[in-house]
């Protein structure tokens, strides 16, 4: 199971500032006005080799009837339910407020691992401002300054202490782990049921609620494939954005556990921002991806329809156009096993290793034909290329001036690698290092 940390607290205590400090980029909007963080923000990061997903939630106002605050409260509660641990952030300059006490009572009932973190303690003299928070009954307060970065390292050591190092929790199970992901109501559960038939072999049903992912065994071509089913939101929700938020959280947890993700798209509904966000989360985590265009049986088509749809989808996806597309109908069971075959092929590509000799002999020809340029006019020399990793593949380029290699040239090199060596459906990491 992936490690998920949720930052929770009343409005304007510095949750987004802390999120940006940990993730290392300004992804959350930081403003003094309460309620600025309405959409949830997710960040994948790591500390001392321990990977985790961080969630920045909006200001938690338990009893408010305001429509926006109700939405924020509901999403914060979902984050608490799904998180491995919760950071309860309070404002040391303001002292303990009645709202802090109310939120502390809610968090105690959650039975989650809790870290009480007192923000805005920007000097040793201010340390005493953390003492009043002992009365919340949540253990020793951890004093930090998110804005100044004070004590952030010690704080991260503490909150990640229970997490395993990357790879430490990996199972010895060699079966392909295939996650079925996508927005609500695109046909994920129908696809899973079509693949498995009516009777499921339940391998893991996590305790707590029926909202958790269920793993099932698909027996196919004399092997077993583990299907990680994220199908369906199994609870009513008043807020449309909370459904999207919950769906995204479940997707993150499932993608963390899989080798390849089968992203189910609704061909009738088209591709939208949420589909692209899910695709980005798959790529960020280095998993293989296959696009399953579902409900193909409902489309009026001729011999050119599939080609036209594929071209338009790849144009929309731009930098992710390496993801293979398969047109399926879960209802009619059309091409559903072809999707599995493609997922198996993508998984093999994740483990592919290209020899250093091949990489250099082929890519150096491409580089000579189209050498890198720089805005300063200084010559950039790529001296040596080698693959440093698989699952997902990573290629290192040793360069005299690595910082001067432009993004568009990196995309050109990735295109050359894919054209010559494949890696269909697999994200590639390119590293540019100073020549020794």
pTM of the complete model beyond 0.95: no
Local confidence band at 53 (pLDDT 50, 70, 90 cut-offs): confident
Q: How far apart are CA 84 and CA 44, in angstroms?
A: 14
Q: Does pLDDT of 18 surpass 90? A: yes
Q: How far apart are CA 254 and CA 212, in angstroms?
A: 10
Q: Are 219 and 304 contained in the same domain? A: yes
Whether the CB-CB separation of 146 and 17 falls below 8 Å is answered with yes
Q: Are 136 and 42 contained in the same domain? A: yes
Q: Are 392 and 332 contained in the same domain? A: no
Q: Name which of 190, 231, 194, 187 is nearest 210 in CA terms.
A: 231
Local confidence band at 33 (pLDDT 50, 70, 90 cut-offs): very low
Domain total for the chain? 3
Instruction: State the average pLDDT for the chain.
Output: 82
Q: Name which of 338, 336, 430 is nearest 392 in CA terms.
A: 430
Q: What is the pLDDT of residue 311?
A: 84
Q: How far apart are CA 348 and CA 378, in angstroms?
A: 40
Q: Does pLDDT of 27 surpass 60? A: no
Q: What is the pLDDT of residue 297?
A: 85
Residue 388 is assigned to a structural domain of this protein: yes
Residue 42 is assigned to a structural domain of this protein: yes
- Evaluate the CA torsion angle 292, 296, 298, 304 in order and state its sign: positive
Residue 130 is assigned to a structural domain of this protein: yes
State the CATH number of the domain containing residue 35.
3.40.50.300
Q: What average pLDDT does this structure show over 350-364? A: 96
**Residue 258: other Cβ atoms inside 10 A:** 24
Q: Are 428 and 337 contained in the same domain? A: no
Q: Are 314 and 377 contained in the same domain? A: no
Question: What is the per-residue pLDDT across 60-84, written as a single tens digit (0 to 9) for each?
Answer: 777 777 777 777 777 777 778 778 8
Q: How far apart are CA 236 and CA 430, in angstroms?
A: 43
Q: Are 360 and 341 contained in the same domain? A: no
Q: How far apart are CA 20 and CA 29, in angstroms?
A: 9
Most confident of 172-181, 275-284, 369-378, 405-414: 405-414
Q: Are 346 and 363 contained in the same domain? A: no
248 vs 240, which has greater pLDDT? 248
What DSSP character marks residue 127? Answer: G
Local confidence band at 232 (pLDDT 50, 70, 90 cut-offs): very low
205 vs 247, which has greater pLDDT? 247
Strands 214-220 and 202-205: antiparallel
* Residue where one domain finishes, among candidates 134, 159, 184: 159
Q: Name which of 260, 47, 253, 236 is nearest 160 in CA terms.
A: 47
Q: Are 64 and 144 contained in the same domain? A: yes
Question: What is the per-residue pLDDT across 364-394, written as a single tens digit (0 to 9) for each?
Answer: 999 999 999 877 778 899 999 999 999 999 9
| Tokens representing residue 261 in the block | 């993700």
Which range marks the domain in which residue 415 is found?
356-434
Q: What is the pLDDT of residue 132?
A: 94
């Amino acid at each position: 199971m992936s490690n998920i940390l949720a930052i929770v607290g009343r409005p304007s205590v510095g949750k987004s500032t802390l999120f940006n400090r940990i993730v290392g980029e300004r992804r959350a909007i930081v403003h003094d006005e309460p309620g600025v963080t309405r959409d949830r923000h997710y960040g994948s990061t790591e500390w001392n080799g321990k990977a985790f997903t961080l969630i920045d939630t909006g200001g938690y106002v338990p009893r408010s009837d305001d429509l926006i605050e109700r939405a924020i409260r509901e999403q914060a509660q979902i984050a608490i339910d799904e998180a491995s641990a919760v950071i309860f952030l309070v404002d040391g300059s303001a002292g303990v407020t009645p709202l802090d006490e109310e939120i502390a009572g809610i968090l105690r009932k959650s039975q989650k691992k809790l870290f009480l973190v007192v923000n805005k303690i920007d000097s040793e003299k201010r340390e005493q401002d953390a003492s009043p928070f002992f009365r919340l009954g949540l253990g020793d307060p951890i004093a930090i300054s998110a804005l100044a970065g004070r004590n952030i390292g010690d704080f991260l050591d503490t909150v990640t202490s229970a997490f395993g190092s990357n790879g430490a929790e990996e199972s010895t199970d060699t079966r392909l782990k295939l996650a079925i992901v996508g927005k609500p109501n695109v046909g994920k559960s129908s696809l899973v049921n079509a693949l498995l038939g009516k009777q499921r072999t339940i391998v893991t049903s996590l305790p707590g609620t029926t909202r958790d992912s269920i793993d099932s065994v698909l027996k196919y071509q004399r092997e077993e494939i583990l299907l990680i089913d994220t199908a369906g939101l199994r609870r009513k929700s008043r807020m449309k954005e909370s459904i999207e938020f919950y769906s995204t959280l479940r997707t993150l947890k499932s993608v963390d556990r899989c080798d390849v993700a089968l992203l189910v798209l609704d061909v009738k509904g088209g591709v939208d921002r949420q589909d692209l966000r899910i695709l980005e989360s798959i790529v960020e985590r280095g998993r293989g991806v296959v696009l399953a265009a579902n409900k193909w049986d409902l489309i009026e088509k001729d011999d050119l329809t599939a080609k036209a749809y594929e071209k338009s989808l790849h144009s929309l996806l731009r930098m992710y156009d390496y993801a293979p597309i398969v047109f399926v109908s879960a209802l009619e069971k059309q091409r559903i096993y072809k999707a599995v075959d493609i997922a198996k092929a993508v998984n093999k590509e994740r483990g592919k290793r290209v020899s250093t000799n091949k990489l250099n002999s082929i890519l150096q020809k491409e580089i000579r034909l189209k050498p890198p340029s720089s805005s300063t006019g200084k010559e950039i020399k790529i001296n040596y290329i080698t693959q440093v990793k698989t699952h997902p593949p990573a290629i290192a380029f040793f360069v005299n001036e690595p910082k001067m290699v432009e993004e568009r040239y990196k995309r050109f090199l990735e295109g050359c690698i894919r054209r010559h060596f494949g890696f269909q459906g697999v994200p590639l990491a390119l590293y540019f290092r100073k020549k020794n």
